[in-house]
Amino acid sequence: MKPIVLITLFVLAAFPALAQTTNSNYDAKLAESLGADEYGMKSYVLVILKTGSNTTTDKAFIDSCFRGHMENIGRLVEAGKLLVAGPLGKNKNAYRGIFILNVTSFEEAKELMKTDAAINENILAADLYNWFGSAALPIYIEPSDKIWKVKP
C-alpha cells in the first residue's frame, strides 16, 4: 500500500477514540442506581401547565383548587415522582408553570395529573412532552430542601 493510504487508514481508525473522552469521576454504581445511560441522561416527562378552560371568578373555589394543587405537589415530591415544579412569569402563551416528572410514560404522567385539583377542575391544563435530562436530577431534592427559609 502507498504510504498516504496507510496514514489515512490509521487516522480514520483512530478518530473515534479521539472523539470520545472518558469521565475519570464516573461512578458506575451511582449511574446504575439513577437509571443513567452512558451519557448520564435519562427520560422524564415535562409538563407545561397552562391556563385551563374554567373561567370561574369564584375566589374561594380557585383558592381551594390551588391549595389542593400545592398539597399534591408535596405528595408527588414525597413519592419521588415530581422532581421540579415552579411557576412561569406572565407570557403570551398562558403558560403558568412546569413540572418535571420522574416517569417514563405519558400514561403514568396522566395518572399523576389526575391527582391535581386545579387540573381536575380545569383551572389549569397540562401538556406533556418527553424530556431527556441528567439522571442526577432526583438527587438535587435533598439539598434543595435545606436552602429555603420561608415556605412558599
**What is the domain extent for residue 107?**
37-140
Q: What's the pLDDT tens digit per position in 23-79?
A: 888 889 999 999 999 999 999 999 999 999 999 999 999 999 999 999 999 999 999
Residue 146 lies in a domain: no
Residue 122 lies in a domain: yes
Provide the CATH number for the domain around residue 116. 3.30.70.1060
Mean pLDDT of 100-113: 96
Mean pLDDT of 111-121: 97
b/e code 104-129 from CB counts within 10 Å (16+ = b): eeeeebeebbeebbbbbbebbbbebe
Residue 26 lies in a domain: no
Residue 85 lies in a domain: yes
Model confidence at 110, in pLDDT bands (50, 70, 90)?
very high
Count of domains in the chain? Answer: 1
